[in-house]
Amino acid sequence: MQTRLTRALVALTTAVGLGLTGLAIAPAQAATGSITGVALDAAGKPLPHVGWEIYIREGNSWSTLQFGPKLTDGNGRFTWTVPVGGQYRVCFNDDYYGPASTTTGFWQPEVRHRDTCWPNATSMESAQTWTSSPSTPSKTFTMKLPRQGLGMAPVDPFIIGSYEVGKPLTIVGQEGWRPTNATFSYQWYEQSSGTPTTPIPGATGATFTPTAAQSGKWVYARATASRTGYKPAQLTTPVSMVGTQHVQPSSPLQVTGTAAAGSTLTASFGKPGATYSELSWFVDGVPQPAFTTYDAATSSFPVTAAHAGTRIDARLKIYKKDGQGNYVDGSDSFARVQVQVAGTRPALPLPTAIVASGEPAVGRVLTAPASVTADPAATVRYQWLRGTSSIAGATKRSYRVQAADLGKKLHVRVTVSRPGWWGSYVKTSPGAVAKKALKKGTVKLVGTPRAGKRLTAKVGGWGPRPVTIRFQWLRNGKVIKGAKKSSYNISKKDRGKVIKVQITVKKTKYLTTTATSKGRKVKR
């Protein structure tokens, strides 16, 4: 995506402005080691899609690896080869909002974590330096990142305007940002070729009018959203040059078609010769890359029931090509047309898995999970279902199974509404067939826990009789192969181990129940 490439360029020029030089080509080293980083949350759970950075000391300054995005894998890890003898600092930053393999196609976790440098610093400047040596060429940096706040769902900010001196440039797209009640701030930047990026004094609004001072310079803006309880989110706009000849469509961008389910929207513009173009689509600010067209004057987007109530953008990027088909610096133009789809936004899938706890047996209580959202301001609603039908009055977190439920699948549907987020989020638990409840009995071990002796499972009270009881003996909690009778002959390998028996009690039309005896430690 062009915007992602733009961000990488912006990050590079910003790094130069902070005194972080590009990574110099060093003489060949006789040996290399590796740096492995592991990002965890406060509970020790791996954090995927967390940005990482290795800083390398070069003289009196620190350089970085000039590529990106650099992200942890599904296990919260990364590994990078480094020369032995170098000095390094390692940092994690939880601010990635780009494409990912998720249900929405965009990485937007509900919780965000504090940016952390090894061992527990809040900035690269205060981080600890590690030196790779022949005796210790490699190191694993494991860091727990404290929770900082809820995560936003930002969208790519987009600039419209001609990039001419004296004519305004305006940032659009914030209407797709969630929470919708976030507060926005802006900073515009300028940069000449070969010089650091610098903020433009006073240019802190959504609209900025370039002056002669920006003529011939690259310009972009940074949009930051803040909200109490959330980690601030920051994204940058595309970059282009002020005062150069920007190509314009021979006819303006327009969208035709009915913005309703079952219809097709068509974006079109007049495409001049010797130009390159991209027509892309966004739903509530989220890119829809499958419908992007390249170097074409039209693009179509099918509207479905899932798009009800959303805002759909068609965005155009166009620039000049030289005789060899290459990009002509500073010739970009951008345009956007937005349409509102009829209807109300449908509920979205709740990312949290919903599994009810308890036994689905008459008289027993099923309970929905307590933690389904990290947002303390959210409203959570419950509805218990018998098959696909709602059970009248069963709208609390817990539900006592009734005789009318026998043989039916029971589910709980959880609906979450969050302030500043459109619509709601819904998920239904897997079904559990309701059966009668067995009367619970007991299981205990009798016998001497010594090698050569026998332990016997004494079972009683399970009913109504008759019932089928199966046995499985355990050694230190692990299954003993073949030990499936009501008694167990203790062997020498059991010395010092704890022996238990697990029983499974079955009866037709009754809920199968398991129980485990107390353990007996075998004497040595």
Q: What percent of the chain has pLDDT over 90?
A: 86
Reported as a single tens digit per residue, the pLDDT across 144-199 is 999 999 999 998 899 999 899 999 999 998 888 999 999 999 999 999 988 999 99
pLDDT band at residue 287 using 50, 70 and 90 as cut-offs: confident
At 197-245, the pLDDT tens digits run 999 999 999 999 999 999 999 999 999 999 999 999 999 999 999 998 8
Predicted confidence (pLDDT) at residue 18 exceeds the cutoff of 90: no
**pLDDT confidence of residue 46:** 98
Q: Mean pLDDT throughout 478-503?
A: 97
CB-CB contact of 261 with 312 (8 Å): no
Kindly state the DSSP code that residue 457 receives in the 8-state scheme: E
Phi, psi of 404 (to 5 degrees): -65, -15
pLDDT in tens, 60-103: 999 999 998 999 999 999 999 999 999 999 999 999 988 887 76
The whole-number pLDDT of residue 219 equals 96
* Distance separating alpha carbons of residues 392 and 144, to the nearest angstrom: 46
What is the DSSP track for 14-40? HHHHTT-PBPP-PPPPS-EEEEEEEEE
For position 524, what pLDDT does the model report?
A: 81
pLDDT score for 101:
74
Number of neighbouring beta carbons within 10 Å of residue 85: 16
Q: What pTM did the predictor assign?
A: 0.81
pLDDT in the model for residue 2: 36
Instruction: Give me the chain's average pLDDT, please.
Output: 92
Which burial class, exposed, middle or buried, applies to 492 when counting CB atoms under 10 A from its CB (0-12, 13-18, 19+)?
exposed
Residues 241/218, Cβ–Cβ less than 8 Å: yes
List the single range of 98-112, 228-242, 249-263, 461-475 with lowest mean pLDDT.
98-112
| pLDDT over 90 at 375, yes or no | yes
Q: What is the tens place of the pLDDT at every residue in 385-418?
A: 999 999 999 999 999 999 999 999 999 999 999 9
Q: Are 69 and 89 in contact (CB under 8 A)?
A: no
State mean pLDDT over 469-482. Answer: 97
Q: Is the pLDDT of residue 36 over 80?
A: yes
Please state the rounded mean pLDDT for residues 36-57: 97
- 267 neighbors 253 (Cβ within 8 angstroms): yes
Query: Tens digit of pLDDT for each residue in 318-355?
Result: 999 999 999 999 999 999 999 999 999 999 899 889 99
Instruction: Provide the β-strand partners of residue 55.
Output: 64, 89
Over 80: is that where the pLDDT of 266 sits?
yes
Would you give the end-to-end CA distance of the chain in angstroms? Answer: 67
Which residues are registered as beta bridge partners of 300? Answer: 266
Q: What per-residue confidence (pLDDT) applies to 93?
A: 97
Q: Distance between CA atoms of 4 and 69, rounded to whole angstroms? A: 9
Question: For 32, what's the count of Cα atoms within 13 Å in the CB-facing half-sphere?
Answer: 11
Q: DSSP 3-state assignment of 92?
A: strand
Q: Which residues of 120-148 are buried (b: 16+ CB within 10 A; e: fewer)?
A: ebeebeebeebebeeeeeebebebbbeeb
